[in-house]
Amino acid sequence: GAGVSQSPSNKVTEKGKDVELRCDPISGHTALYWYRQRLGQGLEFLIYFQGNSAPDKSGLPSDRFSAERTGESVSTLTIQRTQQEDSAVYLCASSRLSGANTGELFFGEGSRLTVL
Amino acid sequence: AQSVTQLGSHVSVSEGALVLLRCNYSSSVPPYLFWYVQYPNQGLQLLLKYTTGATLVKGINGFEAEFKKSETSFHLTKPSAHMSDAAEYFCAVRGSGTYKYIFGTGTRLKVLA
């Protein structure tokens, strides 16, 4: 597609359940990022993938959070045993790291997660 | 380590007045600097960026920002605010040699009629 696509756009779950969020980046973008945006707050870095390099997981808040990406395609962010403090909008972005528009992050519209 | 500080979580200006949103960064290497805007219920979009070259950068919708290395600042300005500028603005930094982007906490701009 033309832009970064995220699904689901909204997810309501019960505390303790696992959730999986999906991000489909722009074709040809080698870098993919996940951020968390809690209500009224800024963007909190979670993880990024760049090509075939080992991902930078330094922002994952706990071992309940994990993410995978196959090659330069779709990524999934998994949150196990969800807690109420996990409620947030999870934003995915992709970037071309060479050529035109180098350095610009293209964001999806986010997945809003509500944990009851 | 990189970090970004945005002074003022909320800024109000009158329509037609100067917009000034402040951003200071810390980076151990020459940074790449960005401003993104988030309109209500929408994703973030790039306003402008500084990578190398001219320190005064012009972006979309009449916004511009100046990279001042001596002040470690990258403040965003617009000479005359428009009602449509009401949104949340985020400053971000990326150090050269890394692909990690760190965002500030955002400044919500309100434009008064």
C-alpha distance from residue B43 to each of A81, A93, B21, B68, B101 (Å): 27, 10, 20, 28, 16
Whether the per-residue pLDDT at B1 is higher than 90: the answer is: no
Q: What is the mean pLDDT of residues A80-96?
A: 95
Q: How confident is the model at residue A40 (pLDDT cuts 50, 70, 90)?
A: confident
Give the span between the Cα atoms of B65 and B82, in whole angstroms. Answer: 17
Q: Give me chain B's average pLDDT, please.
A: 91
Residue B78 contacts residue B62 (beta carbons within 8 Å): yes
pLDDT band at residue B74 using 50, 70 and 90 as cut-offs: very high
**CB of B81 closer than 8 Å to CB of B13:** yes
Euclidean distance between the first and the last CA atom of chain A, given in angstroms as a whole number: 33
pLDDT of residue A1: 54
pLDDT reading at A100 higher than 70: no
Q: Which of residues 19-48 of A touch B (CB under 8 A)?
A: 31, 33, 35, 41-43, 45, 48
Q: Which residue has the higher pLDDT, A41 or A78?
A: A78
pLDDT at position B30 over 60:
yes
More confident residue, A28 or A115: A115
Chain A residues closer than 8 Å to B105 by CB:
41-42
Pairwise CB contact (< 8 Å): B43 & A109: yes
The pLDDT value recorded for residue B83 is 96
Write down the pLDDT at residue A2.
79
Can you tell me the mean pLDDT for B28-44?
86
CB contact under 8 A, A103 and B105: no
Q: Is the pLDDT of residue A97 over 80?
A: no
What integer best gives the mean pLDDT of chain A? 91
- Reported confidence tier of residue A99, pLDDT bands at 50, 70, 90: low
Q: What is the pLDDT of residue A98?
A: 65
Mean pLDDT, residues A54-75 taken together: 92
Question: A38 with A88: CB under 8 angstroms?
Answer: yes
Minimum Cα–Cα distance from B10: chain A residue: A40
| pLDDT at position A111 over 90 | yes
pLDDT at A77 over 90: yes
Specify the pLDDT at position A41.
Answer: 82
A105 interface with B at CB cutoff 8 Å: yes
Q: What is the least distance, in Å, from the CA of B44 to any CA of chain A?
A: 6
Does the pLDDT at position A101 exceed 70? no
Alpha-carbon distance of B8 to A102, in angstroms, equals 29
Residue B58 has pLDDT above 90, yes or no: yes
The backbone torsions φ and ψ at residue A10, rounded to the nearest 5 degrees and listed phi first, read -140, 140
Euclidean distance between CA atoms B56 and B103, whole angstroms: 20
Q: Kindly tell me if the per-residue pLDDT of B98 is higher than 80.
A: no
Task: Using the predicted structure, report yes or no on whether residue B27 has a pLDDT greater than 90.
Answer: no
